[in-house]
Amino acid sequence: MRPLPLLLLLAACGASSSAAPPSPAPRPGPDLGDGVGVYTSGPRAFRTHSFWIAGPEGTVLIDTQFTPSEALRAKAAAERATGQPVTHALVLHANPDKFNGTPALQTAGVEVWTATSVAAAIPEVDAIRRRWFEARYAPDYPAETPAPTPFPDHTETLQLAGLRLRVHVLGPGVSTAQLVVEHAGHLFVGDLLANGHHAWMELGDLDAWRARLDELAALSPRWLHPGRGASGGPELLRAQRAYFDRVEALVRAHPDASTATLRAEVEEAFPELGHPVFLRVGLPAVRRWLQQRPPSAASPSAPSSSEPGSPASGSSASGSSEPGSSEPGSSARSSDPGPSASAAAPAPPSARGRGPGPLSAAARA
């Protein structure tokens, strides 16, 4: 297999709570119940999800897609399904498959919002990814840096389209900051969960990401909706943590290996996961993080080849290929990777001193 040039890398691109009720059986198709649905882009836009939530006064879109054309397709799909216009959209974190569709939606009359910390990270990320992708995708690429309207970095209840949506602003994980959205037992988490796909580990700090998984578990969701791959229940959090433990153990076990050799080890451990090209960025970042990590920090044991641990638990993921790549995607396996790594769940983000901040009267409930 020939190595891919950097331009072809994706730009976008746990612990569970024992008190959480079991997740319902998956529903086929885009309707996920409770007014929630999903649009999934084609492989050129990396099989990215945009979810929608139907409200009494309109529809809210979660994440704005990688290209303007996909953003408008997601909007159209949501409006067909709900019979109502998309009035608002939320960007969950600063990766282009979440924010690139912002200008197209704003031009179409949609209010696009995100947290202040996420909005602050977008210009730098956009500049880097624009060098990777703009020439290859033009004219189907935003002409200017996307600029969602920011709201304060607090846990808030937003009133959008007649819905009351609880939003939590979290620290570093898949990005330097992320927003997660709660609605009727559904939790929209973006690429904090990668079901059926390798994680985008650009920051390398797996401990910070594990802390985010603990925070998600503390919210006791029934449904978790990842940025890629099928939705599921709290087992997705356990699976994601098991994946990070396995990756960390493999990186520790091969301290002098090349990235290509290490990537082969991880791909062998997870042959069913899509987007292995993500590892070209993620594995060097994890290695750098481990080199800087305090020696006293706990480390997982190196796993055996038969040890379970896939972020693909209990569901099927689309078999996409990286655009321009000969690398195949995959379908996910259906096994629970094991128990939670944390016996005591932390307090939910809303209980950790983040009081509500000033939002406009139209948005604050």
3-state secondary structure of 289: helix
Rounded to the nearest 10°, the torsion over CA 78, 79, 81, 82 is 110
Tokens of 83: 């019979």
The 10s digit of each residue's pLDDT in 120-150 is 999 999 999 999 999 999 999 999 999 999 9
Would you say 164 and 157 are in contact if contact means Cβ atoms under 8 Å apart? yes
pLDDT at 32: 81
Q: What is the C-alpha to C-alpha distance for residues 208 and 172, in angstroms, rounded to an integer?
A: 6
Confidence of residue 216 (pLDDT cuts 50, 70, 90): very high
β-bridge partners, 163: 160
pLDDT at 185: 96
Map out the domains of the chain as residue ranges.
Answer: 31-152, 185-342
The 10s digit of each residue's pLDDT in 115-124 is 999 999 999 9
Task: Select 31-152's CATH number: 3.60.15.10, 3.40.50.1980, 3.40.190.290, 3.40.50.1110.
Answer: 3.60.15.10
Cα distances from 203 to residues 46, 119, 193, 284, 290, in angstroms, run: 20, 18, 15, 10, 12
